[in-house]
Amino acid sequence: MVGQLLMKILCVIDALVSGGAQRQLCLLACGLRAKGHEVILFVAHPQYNHFREELDACGIPVRTVERKRKTGFSLKVLLAIRRLMAQCDAVISFQMNANIYAVIARLLLPAWRGRTICGERTGILRYKTHTSKVCAWLTGYFSTITVTNSHAFAVHLRGLPGLSRKIAVIWNGYRHVTIGGVASGGASSEPPRLLVVGRKAAPKNGARLLHALQLVQLDHGWMPTLSWVGRAEMDAASVQMQREMRVLLSRDALLASRCRFLGEMKEVTEMYLTHDALVLPSLYEGLPNVVCEAMLAGCPVIASDVCDNRLLLGDDERGLLCNPLSPQSIADAIVRLRAMTPEAMREMTTRARHFAESELSQNRMVNAYEALLTH
């Protein structure tokens, strides 16, 4: 590639589980490799391989080290990252643990002149603990630049001491997918088929969503079907939410018959094409992968009015927004979706796809990161 500065780039992440950050780092790595850069991916926990086939297909080697302890800080991991970093021109890390390793490894290489880009992928507008806030500040301060995938979180990070000019926003990027959602608006005689793609975790707001389905039945005499794709998280708040969901399902036979919990899936594109809408009533998000993917697939979206979701969907221009703290608001959005005419539905999904193709392409994301690496 004449005239282009080609680099050797190390990407670092905690583990290749089925998360949004992992998906985005793999897409970024594959995109950088396609542009001629040499890319190596380091994972701290080798037992997870959710995106390994995709990385292998792109010719990206995955490096790791065996570690005795499965949790906590690992000196072996740090030294392995430091060794690889010394051989590379730049480092891109995603998520807190990987960012900490990357920054410490950089400090242990005082003569190294490469760029360190730390990716903050959380959508929480305040940290749960003082320690996590300090860690975010330290990684931001000692990295070349910190990239967040949401404008809402960037505002928060810029408020930390010394970080006002060290924060960049790069939205997620995606490959184009086949268009062809099945939504038919008011022409359908059946209740809509709703899809949730995401972990069964407290921020995903599952109990309020089930309550919203009950309200639709109570107020309108019909209940949507719901397919939920995603693994169950086991932290205390998520277990409590799952317990609340089980109680609702055990007390309402109709609700139980309408819900399917499908667990983790490697490929979900087909699900967007066989459901009438994606619903994501999360309490917070960064930039939700599933909303962006649904927009590209021509699948209508109902999402909570938090963080950057309004920038994605507009004022109900490219999808419908709801208040995640109000089951009635979620229910009202579902009812509004079903009441839409086929023409209105088609116009909304067309606007959503055009927006996503323009603002959320893999190439746009890769070019933005490449600009940070080479300028």
Structure confidence at residue 128 as a pLDDT band (50, 70, 90)? low
How many DSSP H helices and E strands does the chain contain? 15, 13
Polymer length of the chain: 375
Report the chain's mean pLDDT, rounded to a whole number: 91
Q: Which two tokens stand for residue 97?
A: 């643990």
* Nearest CA among 333, 355, 322, 219 for reference residue 276: 333
Residues 229 and 264 sit within 8 Å (Cβ to Cβ): yes
Residue 184 has pLDDT above 90, yes or no: no
Residues 310 and 288 sit within 8 Å (Cβ to Cβ): no
Q: Tell me the per-residue pLDDT of 53-67, one tens digit each, with 9 for 90 and over.
A: 999 999 999 999 988
Task: Kindly give the interhelix angle for 362-374 and 20-34, rounded to the nearest 10 degrees.
Answer: 70
What is the phi/psi pair of residue 277, to 5°? -170, 150
The C-alpha atoms of residue 373 and residue 375 are separated, in whole angstroms, by 6
pLDDT score recorded for residue 246: 98
Q: Tell me the per-residue pLDDT of 278-316, one tens digit each, with 9 for 90 and over.
A: 999 999 888 998 999 999 999 999 999 999 999 999 999
pLDDT score recorded for residue 268: 87
- What single-letter DSSP state applies at residue 2? T
What is the phi/psi pair of residue 322, to 5°? -145, 165
Q: Tell me the per-residue pLDDT of 68-114, one tens digit each, with 9 for 90 and over.
A: 777 788 999 999 999 999 999 999 999 999 999 999 999 999 999 99
Residue 30 has pLDDT above 60, yes or no: yes
* Nearest CA among 364, 356, 224, 373 for reference residue 290: 356
Residue 179 has pLDDT above 60, yes or no: no
Residue 325 has pLDDT above 50, yes or no: yes
Q: What percent of the chain has pLDDT over 70?
A: 94
If phi over 0 gives left and psi between -120 and 50 gives alpha, with beta otherwise, what is residue 142? alpha
pLDDT score recorded for residue 2: 43
Instruction: Kindly list the structural domains of the chain, giving each domain's residue range(s) and its CATH number in brackets, ordered by start.
Output: 8-173+361-374 (3.40.50.2000), 185-359 (3.40.50.2000)
Residue 131 has pLDDT above 90, yes or no: no
Structure confidence at residue 322 as a pLDDT band (50, 70, 90)? very high
pLDDT score recorded for residue 247: 98
Structure confidence at residue 129 as a pLDDT band (50, 70, 90)? low
Residue 174 has pLDDT above 50, yes or no: yes
| Side-by-side strand order, sheet with 277-280 | 259-263, 225-229, 193-197, 277-280, 301-304, 320-322
- The beta-carbon contacts of 96-99 under 8 Å, at least 24 apart in sequence, are 96/120, 96/122, 96/132, 96/135, 96/136, 96/139, 97/14, 97/44, 98/12, 98/13, 98/14, 98/44, 99/135, 99/139, 99/143
Residues 367 and 37 sit within 8 Å (Cβ to Cβ): no
| Least reliable range by pLDDT among 45-49, 124-128, 257-261 | 124-128
Residue 126 has pLDDT above 60, yes or no: no
Residues 211 and 294 sit within 8 Å (Cβ to Cβ): no
Residue 190 has pLDDT above 60, yes or no: yes
pLDDT score recorded for residue 185: 41
